[in-house]
């Protein structure tokens, strides 16, 4: 852990001479002020010019070669593996030797990536798994599609709105009776994701509507029939092991039990594939609920740490973040780990500087509404959570992002590494005596990217 003091508001940091450069995705380098280098005595105008030049380069690169969120997610496995080998060479031994958990698979809003969307204005019947491009104009109120499905089948319907398109998707039986509806994939992502069970065999009706008159535009729709496997994710597991699980349906609940002794300090991590939103509950041996966590880990992951106050079998229940029809049904594969100690580790000064520099640059871009820089420094989890494909998508959400309190003067920062994943890091910014902001970062291709952030939280514990 490294703590570094700041004596000036965040917006003034960029006017100082940077000590280190923060690498940006797509080969763009943006100079970030190091928290440890606030005392540099080089001329201030040099720092200003350097910062302006690098930001201009970032914006030019974004315009010439827009970042493809799907491509970034598709390369996450190899890049994270590389980062796990190269990142943090001077970090503590327990972090350097930690075995990287399986790389995240992309399971959410970029299904079928790499495929070309088909478009046929004369066809309204969708094929299994295809990406079908369509649009709603000012003269349209909705688009209606058909999809053949059998009784009891589980359908996954994803509608990816392009630009400012804000879709609402509804599944109806062949006779027009409504089965389920979804407006937003999550509180931050305006795309629609619906997972529902078909009650009657036949040509199901799928209706896509804009949320309002401002939400018209192009979209891509995909329908998939889910294969539901046996519910075999309930098991007794050993401390110090990682076990695979899968949330098959919105109502699926998996149960894991492990033996703990009095006074044993443990943490439980439920690490979902990219875009899988898990919720975890921890129960004591007597059946009493001890803790609940939704997004306490990296991105949408759940993380619980505690000291056992009784011996016996402790129980962890894992389920989707929402099991209500049409709401946040980000199901899929995850890994559950029970480990002794704490989930975070100290990092050396160089790693702390790199983490804080990337996080500061990203925070300033949020405050400034700099869509190009936000997109360049957004990790695969952030791209999925927000549904960002390009800078226009980021611009669509700038007002929502800036409506929350992004803080003022930063009093200090605290940087941590991740015990289980050497290519992950965490930075806390103190904004007042009791108000902190947290950023979760991942290292891909040698660059730190921001996967998630939370505001108005307590101090790191």
Contacts of 450 (CB under 8 A, 6+ apart): 358, 359, 362, 377, 378, 379, 382, 439, 440, 441
Question: Nearest CA to 8 among 411, 459, 439, 356?
Answer: 411
- 12-48 residue pLDDT tens: 222 222 223 333 333 333 333 333 333 333 333 433 4
Query: What integer pLDDT is reported at residue 108 of this predicted model?
Result: 40
* Least confident segment among 323-332, 388-397, 436-445: 323-332
Query: What integer pLDDT is reported at residue 320 of this predicted model?
Result: 81
Bigger pLDDT: 154 vs 57: 154
In the chain, the domains with their CATH numbers are 2-85+347-457 (no CATH), 132-226 (2.60.120.380), 232-343 (2.60.120.380)
Query: What integer pLDDT is reported at residue 229 of this predicted model?
Result: 61
For residue 435, is pLDDT > 90? no
Please, which pLDDT band fits residue 401 given cuts at 50, 70 and 90?
confident
**Which residue reads 């503590």 in tokens?**
92
State how beta strands 217-226 and 332-340 pair.
unpaired
Bigger pLDDT: 56 vs 153: 153
Dihedral, 142, 147, 152, 157 alpha carbons, nearest 10:
-50
- 271-308 residue pLDDT tens: 888 778 888 999 999 889 999 888 788 888 889 999 99
**Which residue reads 């589980």 in tokens?**
154
Bigger pLDDT: 76 vs 234: 234
pTM over 0.75? The answer is no
DSSP SS3 for 423: coil
Bigger pLDDT: 16 vs 132: 132
Which tokens in the block code for residue 177? 């009776």
Please, which pLDDT band fits residue 374 given cuts at 50, 70 and 90?
very high
Query: What integer pLDDT is reported at residue 342 of this predicted model?
Result: 86
Helix (H) or strand (E) holding 267: strand 265-272
Mean pLDDT computed over every residue of the chain: 75
Q: In whole angstroms, what separates CA 177 from the centre of its chain?
A: 35
Is residue 194 within 8 A of residue 183, CB to CB? The reply is no
Which tokens in the block code for residue 165? 């398109």
């Amino acid at each position: 852990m490294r703590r570094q003091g700041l004596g000036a508001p965040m917006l003034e940091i960029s006017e100082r001479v940077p000590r280190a450069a923060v690498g940006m995705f797509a080969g763009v380098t943006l100079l970030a002020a190091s928290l440890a280098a606030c005392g540099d005595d080089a001329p201030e105008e040099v720092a200003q010019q350097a910062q302006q030049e690098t930001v201009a380069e970032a914006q030019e690169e974004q315009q010439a070669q827009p970042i493809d969120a799907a491509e970034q997610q598709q390369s996450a496995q190899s890049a994270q593996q590389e980062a796990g080998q190269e990142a943090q060479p001077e970090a503590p031994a327990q972090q350097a030797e930690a075995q990287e958990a399986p790389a995240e698979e992309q399971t959410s809003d970029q299904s079928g990536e790499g495929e070309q969307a088909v478009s046929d204005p004369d066809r309204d019947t969708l094929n299994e798994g295809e990406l079908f491009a369509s649009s709603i104009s000012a003269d349209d109120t909705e688009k209606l599609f058909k999809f053949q499905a059998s009784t009891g089948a589980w359908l996954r319907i994803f509608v990816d709105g392009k630009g400012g398109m804000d879709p609402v998707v509804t599944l109806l039986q062949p006779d027009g009776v409504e089965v389920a509806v979804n407006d937003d994939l999550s509180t931050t992502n305006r795309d629609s994701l619906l997972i529902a069970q078909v009650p009657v065999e036949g040509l199901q009706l799928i209706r896509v509507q804009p949320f309002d008159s401002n939400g018209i535009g192009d979209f891509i729709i995909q329908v998939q029939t889910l294969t539901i496997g046996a519910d075999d994710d309930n098991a007794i597991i050993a401390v110090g092991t990682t076990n695979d699980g899968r949330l098959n349906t919105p109502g699926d609940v998996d149960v894991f039990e492990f033996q703990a002794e009095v006074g044993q300090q443990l943490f439980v991590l439920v690490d979902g594939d990219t875009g899988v939103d898990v919720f975890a509950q921890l129960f004591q041996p007597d059946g009493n609920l001890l803790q609940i966590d939704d997004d306490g880990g990296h991105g949408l992951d759940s993380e619980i740490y505690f000291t056992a106050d009784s011996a016996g079998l402790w129980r962890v229940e894992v389920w989707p973040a929402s099991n209500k029809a049409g709401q946040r049904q980000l199901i899929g594969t995850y890994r559950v780990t029970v480990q002794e100690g704490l989930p975070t580790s100290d990092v050396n000064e160089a790693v702390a500087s790199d983490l804080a520099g990337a996080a500061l640059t990203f925070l300033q871009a949020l405050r400034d509404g700099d869509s190009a820089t936000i997109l360049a420094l957004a990790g695969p989890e952030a791209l999925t959570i927000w549904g960002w494909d390009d800078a226009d998508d980021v611009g669509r959400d700038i007002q929502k992002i800036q409506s929350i309190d992004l803080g003022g003067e930063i009093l200090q920062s605290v940087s941590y590494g991740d015990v289980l994943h050497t290519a992950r890091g965490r930075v806390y910014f103190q904004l007042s005596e009791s108000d902190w902001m947290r950023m979760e970062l991942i290292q891909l291709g040698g660059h730190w990217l921001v996967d998630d952030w939370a505001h108005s939280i307590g101090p790191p514990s």
